[in-house]
Amino acid sequence: MMKRLNLGCGIDYKEGFVNLDFHSHLDIDVQHNLNQFPYPFDDSEFDFIEASHIIEHLDKPFEVMAELHRILKPNGLLHIKVPHFSRGFTHAEHNAGFDVTFPYYFNPNFTKSGYYGINFSLKKVQLNYFAFFHLLPYMGVGRATISIMKLINIVINFFANLNPKACSRIWCFWVGGFEEIEFELVATK
């Protein structure tokens, strides 16, 4: 059976996952401060790890990535959603913003000074112009406006993801920042 981890789950408890968070008042399976290493899991324990909007809150993202690599099985999948640097500091507790170059640091062919000693191969990168439709009603945004925003999101995401590198470097400044960049990485061991 596939073993899956929902890292920093917050209120997004997922059935069939080990749900980990720092806050004990949430519905969780494991409580742990993700800035403390090692994480309370064995080497190569998970087939799949989902980390949605958590890594940007942590002190040392590259050490976190090394720890996630440790607990992923060989060829295990890591699905990360983080703020794109163009909008990465809109939350007071964000420590980092990310761009398309993030996976390069886990490729030994990139550069010796930038390589972090762990290998992930990039399976997918995607820019998302809007990412938090579920929060908009709490901000007083009406259904009609949300529907229009979803349509705009589809169009912008389509064109942006034709070439995420060019978009991340140039185009995002023309249409405004992207809320999120998403990566799927495969642990190479």
In order of start, what are the domains of the chain with their CATH numbers? 4-188 (3.40.50.150)
Whole-number pLDDT of residue 51:
97
Burial call 37-69: b when 16+ CB within 10 Å, e when fewer: eebebeeebbbbbbbbbbbbbbeebeebbbbbb
Can you tell me the distance from the alpha carbon of 103 to that of 65, in angstroms, rounded to the nearest whole number?
10
pTM greater than the 0.85 cutoff: yes
Dihedral of CA atoms 133, 96, 125, 105 in degrees, nearest 10, equals -170
Mean pLDDT by 10 residues, the chain (189 residues): 94 95 92 97 98 91 96 98 76 76 88 83 91 84 91 91 84 77 95
Residue 28 contacts residue 19 (beta carbons within 8 Å): yes
Whole-number pLDDT of residue 92:
65
